[in-house]
Amino acid sequence: MSLFQCRQSTLGVVLLVCGLCVGCGSGEEGPELGSVTGIVMLNEEPLVNADVFFLPIEGTPGVGGQGRTKEGGKFEIVYFRGGEGLPAGDYRVAVSYRLMPDGTPVPEGDDTPPIESPASESLPAKYSSKDHSEIKVKVEPGQPVELKLTGKKK
């Protein structure tokens, strides 16, 4: 086999492998998502403009999601990797209600890191901490989530 034929064969193998790699993705589309809606109440009153985070626990697939409460304390969860809802399963839920120095809620979409923001958390860590929240729920398709919080704001 000549040097030219050897290079040509090698180039053919490399192109074939590259073509297979490009054509074959991981095949993973992610977990099946179901709509997740609900309501947040604080001392029997709707909590408006709070951020709600669902974080999977106990073998629940996926990466979780978040939403913001609207009028009446109602929320819809958006999956962190895009899409509406979450996979069914068990979640730790953190509810954050950060207020600016003038007492107004942090504007929706404000992505200033908490350490750099003048806003402060007004709910206790047992509700607001993503790592230590005591709120745990089971998400089931078509079943709204009702979060009833009690206590004083900070």
Q: Encode the chain (154 residues) as per-residue pLDDT tens digits.
A: 554 444 455 444 444 444 444 444 444 578 999 999 999 999 999 999 999 999 999 999 999 999 999 999 999 999 999 999 999 999 999 999 999 999 999 998 888 888 899 999 999 999 999 999 999 999 998 899 999 999 877 7
Compute the distance between CA of residue 116 and CA of residue 42 in angstroms, rounded to an integer: 27
Residue 116: CB partners within 8 Å, gap ≥ 6?
Answer: none
The full set of domain ranges for the chain reads 37-149
In 3-state terms the chain splits into helix, strand, coil percentages (rounded to 5) of 20, 30, 50
CATH code, residues 37-149: 2.60.40
Question: Which regions of the chain does DSSP assign to beta strands (E)?
Answer: 37-42, 45-46, 51-56, 65-68, 74-76, 78-79, 89-96, 98-99, 120-121, 135-139, 145-149
